[in-house]
Chains A and B, each alone.
Chain A
Amino acid sequence: MFESLIKHINSYISTPLTENQEELIRHSFVSKKIKKKQYLLHEGQVCKYSAFIVRGAMRQYSIDDKGAEHMIRLSIENWWAVDRESFVMLTPSIYTIDAWEDTDVLLLTRADSLNLLNQIPILAQWQGKLDENHAFSAQKRLNASISFSAERRYSDFVARYPEFMQRFPQHLIASYLGITKETLSRIRHLSMKK
């Protein structure tokens, strides 16, 4: 259960974790199984956990006045599912997070994450890299959404995240890219002809 997490952390830090440090990390996370369509977070709740996905797939979305879901984030193995703003500020979340497949997660509270950073200073490297990567991809996504055509947004997504194409259905990917299902199927149809 913890192997993938330890491997994930080690891939971001300059010296691998010691056995003691691994032990501290194991004690800080709680493992949980979330069945398909079950929730990690409901809109209006405070986000208590940051979830590391060991196996499975999750989605984070907002729901508009008409009941339509807008995918803000799709996550699979080695990704995190969390509403960071609610997690840190403790304000009720405007997002819902649920499992798209039967999912195994490792849950970490804010208190345990701060304590871990105090006890294992090298984890700051891991956190810093994750924050950086997150900023880079958020910037790319923002640029794509304000300046790319729907075609280019789709082809970029396929190139960057091929595995997501196997794990999530077209309507979720269309929502993630901010395009309609109809536009997405037209683009796919065209790209197959090329």
Chain B
Amino acid sequence: MTKNIRFTTKGLRADIGEYIINRLLPNNYVKAVGPFVFLDHVLPIKHSLGEPRKVVNGKGAHPHRGMATLTYILNGEGEHFDSYGNHAKVGSGGAQWMKAGNGVIHDEVVNVDPAIGDLLTHAFQFWINLPSRNKAEPPEYLPIQANEIPKKRLSDNRGWIRVIAGRYENLASKIPEYSKQFLFHIHLEAGMQSSLPTERGLEYAAFLPLQGAVINDTEFGKGELIVFGENEGVIQMHNNSESELDIIVFGGEKYAEPIVAEGPFVMNTRTEIADAYRDFHAGKYGEIRTIQI
């Protein structure tokens, strides 16, 4: 048995500054997949040698409250600053998790990774909703370098799976979770296939960032987000092409509380959204200091 496919979407262009972005979540069909309420695909760009690097200069600074951001960098170097004094750089294959909790201001850039000569930038930003009790907690930040992300080779040299969030078999991500969540990066070599078992009651979606694939016997194109139905079954992935295939699979436990999202905030009521704006202007989220001592 394979899982039914509920719908697919290619998202909408939603560029921010110099980044070319496709917004896949929320979309016309769903507000969330598990606790994931937002997904921006920062499209791959090949930069020229000597192109100036982007710097954190306050122009991209903005607040968040009520959710956690999770940036997964396929290619490039992400740099993060926030109003709680956190600063880190994460290279290709790494991730950054920031629990906004009761309010934080952050600014981040993605540049070419100087340690890898590919001149590429390519990333994802997810927003993970927090249960109401965790929305009120102080912010936290966790940079995760590529070598800290658990990875397992699939048998018979079919490819590999990386566990960015949640658990897979004996692998567990170090990103804290407040409700069941998972984010896997599955890589299949040319001509290979794999089958992912699913858990009853969890919501699942798959995304094809770079090329199409056959999923549960249906062919999908590059850039498609596939959201699965509730029936029990596996997710079968076939790479019928002659090149490698990357698939992002994510989801988790359905968010049970009301979702009221506006601007950079994800809360449970409209009053909480108003409070989030008021507290921002009252300076309660602090400020970013980018000057390093």
Interface residues of A (CB under 8 A from B): 44, 48, 88-92, 109-112, 114-115, 117-118
Contacts and interface: CB of A to CB of B under 8 A. Distances in A.
Given A90-B63, A91-B60, A111-B281, A118 B275 contact: no
A89 B281 contact: no
B62 A89 contact: yes
Contact of A44 (B59, B63, B263, B277): B59
B274 interface: yes
A44 B278 contact: no
Contacts of B262: 88, 114
B237 interface: no
A117 B262 CA distance: 14
B61 interface: yes
B175 interface: no
29 contacts: A44-B58, A44-B59, A88-B263, A89-B263, A89-B264, A90-B263, A90-B264, A90-B277, A90-B280, A91-B60, A91-B61, A91-B62, A92-B58, A92-B59, A92-B60, A92-B61, A110-B274, A110-B277, A111-B277, A111-B278, A112-B278, A114-B262, A114-B271, A114-B273, A115-B271, A115-B274, A118-B270, A118-B271, A118-B274
B174 to A, nearest CB: 30
Contacts of B61: 91-92
Interface of B: 58-63, 262-264, 270-271, 273-275, 277-278, 280-281
Contacts of B275: 111
Contacts of A90: 62-63, 263-264, 277, 280
Nearest to B61: A92
A52 to B, nearest CB: 18
A12 B142 CA distance: 49
A91 B107 CA distance: 10
A114 B62 contact: no
Nearest to A89: B263
A114 B277 contact: yes
B65 to A, nearest CB: 10
Contacts of A44: 58-59
Nearest to A116: B274
A67 to B, nearest CB: 18
Contact of B277 (A91, A92, A109, A118): A109
A111 B65 CA distance: 14
A109 B276 CA distance: 12
A109 B263 contact: no
Which 3 pairs of residues, A with B, have the shortest CB-CB distance? A111-B278, A114-B274, A111-B277
Nearest to A117: B270
A60 to B, nearest CB: 18
Contacts of B281: 48, 109, 111
B103 to A, nearest CB: 11
Contacts of B59: 44, 92
A31 to B, nearest CB: 18
Contacts of A92: 58-62
B281 to A, nearest CB: 5
B214 to A, nearest CB: 39
A42 B160 CA distance: 50
Contacts of B270: 114, 117-118
A91 B105 CA distance: 10
A90 B63 CA distance: 7
Nearest to A118: B270
B263 A111 contact: no
Contacts of A48: 281
B127 to A, nearest CB: 14
Residue from B59, B264, B274, B278 with most neighbouring chain A CB atoms (10 Å):
B274
